[in-house]
A and B are shown apart, each in its own frame.
Chain A
Amino acid sequence: MGQVRNRRKTKKTREAILAYATLIALGVIFMYPLVFLAANSLRHYMDRIPIMFFTEFHFENYYFAVAMIPFFRYLLNTLKLVAIGVFGSVVMDFLVGYAFAKLNAPGKNFLFKLVLFQIMVPYIAIQIPQFVWYNTIGIMDTFWVFFLSALGGSAYNIFLVKQFLSSFPREIEEAAKIDGAGFATQITKIVIPLSKPLYVLLFFNAFVAAWNDYMGPSMFLTEKNFTLAAAMFGKLYFLPNKPEITLEPVQMAACVLFTVPVIILFFFCQKFLVQGIVTTGLKG
């Protein structure tokens, strides 16, 4: 008996060691490119040979990355789009999702089919016709393009909110109703405090989507309104008198500056993101 148990135990330990070894290997594979990126953002800006690890520390590259281009203008534009996107998801998507989860009205099921249908429709089926349409109605190169689409909400988020709020026990709201709480009180005092993980999930997704989006700004805006993502898609960092030579280290420094906010945000949101995904589920 004892031997069997022992053997089982060693088998378990062996499995655990193997699992951890694989995880460490995967961790290195997935992280090393980012280490490589950071290291190369610090090599001398005229040096054309990549370095493998942190062997040089030319922090002036970060100064160049910001000073060679209108970095802060791009950043401000990015933050504008982020604010619009976050508003759309945290306010609009939340309210629509709430309506679908908690309120009854004739025609609700049909409207919800509309939401599901929109999730399925490929992005391009909308974006190019929108490009043509905005050209026609004359709101190209304004932030209206993004504001309208934020007001209209994202079907995917609405679906998430509905799933999340549907898992609430009904008793909580009924008790509140009996106490005479109106719609605004219910939302602010009960629903929102109970949906923190969902809120973080919506906020994070909206932030990252707007921050990373290069297609929307490149299509709908001109250079003066470009966001960082759209601007960095083009050739930004080159020698003034020799435009064919890209200053890779400076470009890498810009990449680091552009990526770090997302990573920091992820660290702050991580705990709630996982919770949010667990509670939202995706079943049925």
Chain B
Amino acid sequence: MVSKKKFWNAKRREAMLFYILVFPFVTLFIAIKLVPFFNGLYLSMTNYTGYNYDRLNWVGINNYQRVLTDAQAMAALGRTFLIGLLTIPAGLAIGLGCALLLNKARKGLGVFRTLIYLPSIVPTVAAGLMWRIIFNTNAGLLNTILGVFGVEKILWLGYDHIRAALIIMMLWSSTGTLLLNLAALQGIPVELYESAALDGANGWAKFSRITIPMISPILFFNLLMGIINGLQLYGQVVLLAPDGSNGILSIPLRPTYTYMVHAYQQILGYSRFGYGLAMMWVLVFVIAILIVVVMRSQKYWVFYGD
């Protein structure tokens, strides 16, 4: 009665192929992500300095307590938040505003799209070095242009204006969301606008009732990525440091001394590995909370239609 079935039937073969294809992904996830992750968690509760791996002392949550009471670390965290609050929403608005404008332009779309998108693919290092010259006090681009309007020379890279300089530089390169936004805008069915026009909706109503809800999943995604990346701000501030001779360990001026700079200084500069790792976990925890908050906010403003 029982017919002899081949063991390697189509279904099993398919499953086997799946496992073979994802094998490197899963193994290496464990080997170079999960293991270091927990290893790092363990080391953050020790006095690891980079040299004493064979005779570690367990210090429990001591490092974490020190992070939370480290005035420098907490001030740096606050500063990072402030810079994020100033750059993330503005950056998203620039990406969206440019996409809205480009969506209106029928002719020359390609040219303007390229011009506006290019800054976001200029390598960070090149952009940083370039902006240093633009911020040059005597004859930099910015002061020369402002000079035409009678503004006195501003010491952009000095203590008082470094944060403004950083924000200008970051906003210049914040057009990376342009292509995504544009794709989303072009995906909105025209019929929606036509029927709204028949109902007598004006421009603002169309924008707030159709455009924004229809592209809200993209805005949500961009916001999430903006927060995750924004709190890890590092390269740009180091590139604007007064003396760049220390490479990635150059120390930025106080107003742009971010949390990540402090963390990397502890680890790579002072060999305080345990402490630096604890600092990093605190930031990961803060980011995780923000992710949860943003995810929860989805139901109030993100529209997942059909």
Contact = CB atoms under 8 A, between A and B. Distances in A.
A49 interface: yes
A129 B277 contact: yes
A284 interface: yes
A282 interface: yes
A159 B199 CA distance: 40
Binding site of A, secondary structure by majority: helix, strand, loop or mixed? helix
Contact of B221 (A27, A211, A266, A282): A282
A223 to B, nearest CB: 10
Contacts of A233: 125, 238-239, 244, 247-248
Contacts of A132: 36, 39-40, 43, 48, 50, 273, 277
A151 B234 CA distance: 27
Interface of B: 11, 14-19, 21-22, 24-29, 31-33, 35-37, 39-41, 43, 48, 50, 53, 98, 101-102, 104-105, 108, 110-119, 121-126, 129-131, 133-134, 136, 138-141, 144, 172, 175, 179-180, 182-184, 186-187, 217-218, 221, 228, 231-232, 234-235, 238-239, 244-248, 260, 263, 267-268, 273, 276-277, 280-281, 283-284, 287, 291, 304
Interface string A121-164: 11111101111110110000000000011011100001000000
A131 to B, nearest CB: 8
Contacts of A281: 183, 187
Interface stretch (A55-63, A188-196, A254-262): A254-262
A66 interface: no
Given A99-B21, A132-B50, A208-B121, 4 more contacts: A33-B172, A105-B18, A130-B33, A282-B184
A282 B122 CA distance: 24
Contact of A152 (B29, B39, B48, B184): B29
Nearest to A37: B130
A128 B40 contact: yes
A263 B239 CA distance: 21
Nearest to B246: A234
Contacts, number: 258
A20 B248 contact: no
B230 to A, nearest CB: 11
Contact of A50 (B115, B136, B238): B136
Given A259-B126, A282-B217, A283-B304, A126 B25 contact: no
B179 A277 contact: yes
A108 B114 CA distance: 39
